[in-house]
Structure 1
Amino acid sequence: MTRPTFTFDDLKEILREGAGADPETLAETPLDATFGDLGFESLALLETLGRIERQYDIVLDDAAFTGASTPRALIALVNEQLNSAVA
């Protein structure tokens, strides 16, 4: 069985749709910049969380999500949850 994977492109699309992020800005987003430094406020991140959970049929722990302060960390968190859901 193939495990689903959450990619940086997936995250950028969700941020574009849910948080109104500019596609050109997202194209140059560094993986290790904090969401705060990238201009994403808590409401935008909550919308992002909801969209990820609905789209991938997973539940992310609020504390873990809050701790994922960079795109790289959030991608890893989602993939960890996706992998544990398949296992």
Structure 2
Amino acid sequence: MQLRELTSILRESAGEEEGVDLDGDILDTPFEELGYDSLALFNTVGRIEREMGIALPDDVVAEATTPRFLLDRVNTALDVTKSA
């Protein structure tokens, strides 16, 4: 999964905060600064799991503080699924 796909899902699942540019360099920007709380991340993670056919650890929502972290977890799960 690429950042572009993640930002698309974020927009569709939880909207976009006014004044936040999700198309910029946001990989290491905390989700909180991007306007996304734990409920928004919960919805986003659920959608990613359904669409990608993966299961992420239950604690990923609490641990995922940045897009880079979430993408790393998603891509690791995708790699495991592909090699299984």
TM-score, length of structure 2 as denominator length: 0.87
Q: Which amino acid aligns with 2:8?
A: E
| CA shift for structure 1 position 31 | 0.6
**Identity level (%):** 42
In the other structure, the counterpart of 2:5 is: 10
TM-score, length of structure 1 as denominator length: 0.84
CA contact (8 A) 2:54 2:77 kept: yes
Name the one with the larger helix percent.
1
CA contact (8 A) 1:65 1:77 kept: no
Q: 2:40 aligns with which of 36, 44, 47?
A: 44
Higher RCO structure (Cα 8 Å, ≥6 apart): 1
| CA shift for structure 1 position 29 | 4.7
Q: 1:20 aligns with which of 15, 18, 30?
A: 15
Q: Which runs of 5+ in 1 are unaligned?
A: 1-5
Determine whether 1:66 maps to 2:62: yes
Q: Are residues 20 and 29 of structure 1, via their aligned partners in 2, closer, same or farther at CA, if it must alter by over 3 Å?
A: farther
Distance 1:84 1:66 in 2: 22
Distance 1:46 1:34 in 2: 15
In the other structure, the counterpart of 1:53 is: 49
Q: Which amino acid aligns with 2:70?
A: L
Q: Which runs of 5+ in 2 are unaligned?
A: none
Q: Are residues 19 and 33 of structure 1, via their aligned partners in 2, closer, same or farther at CA, if it must alter by over 3 Å?
A: same
| Alignment: residue pair count | 82
After superposing on structure 2, the runs of 4+ consecutive aligned residues of structure 1 that deviate more than 2 Å are none
